[in-house]
Chains A and B, each alone.
Chain A
């Protein structure tokens, strides 16, 4: 099976990893914000697929690239790309 088609991602670069969010997948449930061990995920002004706020990080340099947010996202709307 071919790899999933590419979608538009909003990316934020940091020291260890970049935080990529797919607005057309994010439903704004907020599960990732609660699970982030360094508490850097906050509501964003960009809207998700249901017109609810999506998420971004307020200081991507603090990201430790643990990929917890990627794992707990039920919609696979977050992708962490390590450097």
Chain B
């Protein structure tokens, strides 16, 4: 197969910072896909000069120089209150809090719960990869029953360690009228982009708290190849975590 070399611009979202690419995430990491869809959503809404992007500790902090956006990095789930503060001080900006499942459901759960209860007008995006990726793949609140991790070498036993957190269901049940809550997956990127756009639009409209959980992949710590990675996201995770919209403003309670 003969291949020529030509000069061509990569098809990146416009709000990405091309100088920091290739980004620092592992090969096959779902963060890249989620951030690509977030970048395209920001491009399509045309709000690049108004967004403040906050990232949390963990793998998600590697996105601190990912975008050509005003960015802030905080620790242990504090990205939600920090973005809330920025939003309260400057109501014209659009605040996006980006975190992992450790930051959102474990050490920073109180911030997520209280922001949702107070119905803060910010957008929170949470990446669920069923483990703590940066520290080497320990059990997280979202680890599936029976899944092997560093700290559950025989598989997670729900009798001992409880059941995985269902975040969007929890947020949907405590959030007030006007909240937008959804769960997307990197297995369906067009749908994920639609959810992210709706979540940001919900904040622009000033309705209330917007929360999107993204089912993501961690091939490094799952020790999977590309085929097994897709099958884990599409089958094993989808059995427990259901994709869909849980709260849409202006609609009656569903389910």
Question: A residues touching B (Cβ–Cβ < 8 Å)?
Answer: 1, 3-12, 20, 22, 24-25, 27-31, 33-35, 46, 49-50, 52, 56-58, 70-72, 74-77, 79, 81
Contacts and interface: CB of A to CB of B under 8 A. Distances in A.
Please name the 10 residue pairs, one residue from A and one from B, whose CB atoms are nearest each other, closest first: A74-B32, A29-B28, A30-B226, A27-B27, A29-B27, A4-B18, A9-B8, A6-B7, A10-B3, A76-B12
Nearest to B13: A76
Contacts of B219: 29
B226 A3 contact: no
A58 B226 contact: no
26 contacts: A1-B14, A4-B14, A4-B16, A4-B18, A5-B9, A6-B7, A6-B8, A6-B9, A7-B8, A9-B8, A11-B3, A27-B27, A29-B219, A31-B229, A31-B230, A34-B226, A34-B227, A50-B27, A72-B33, A72-B189, A74-B29, A76-B10, A76-B36, A77-B22, A79-B11, A81-B8
B133 interface: no
Interface residues of B, number: 37
B21 interface: yes
B230 A34 contact: yes
B5 A4 contact: no
Contacts of A10: 3-5
A62 to B, nearest CB: 13
A3 B27 contact: no
B68 interface: yes
Nearest to A25: B22
Nearest to A49: B22
A34 B6 CA distance: 26
Interface in B5-46: 5-12, 14-16, 18, 21-23, 25-33, 36
Contacts, number: 105
A27 B68 CA distance: 22
Nearest to B14: A1
Contacts of B31: 74
B89 interface: no
Contacts of A27: 22, 26-28
Contact of A12 (B1, B12, B15): B1
B225 interface: yes
B68 A1 contact: yes
Interface string B201-244: 00000000000000000010000011101100000000000000
Contacts of A8: 5-7
A9 B36 contact: no
A9 B6 contact: yes
B152 interface: no
Interface centre among A1, A10, A50, A75 (most CB of B within 10 A): A75
A78 to B, nearest CB: 8
Given A10-B4, A74-B29, 11 more contacts: A4-B10, A4-B18, A7-B7, A7-B8, A10-B5, A20-B8, A31-B28, A31-B226, A34-B230, A75-B21, A79-B11
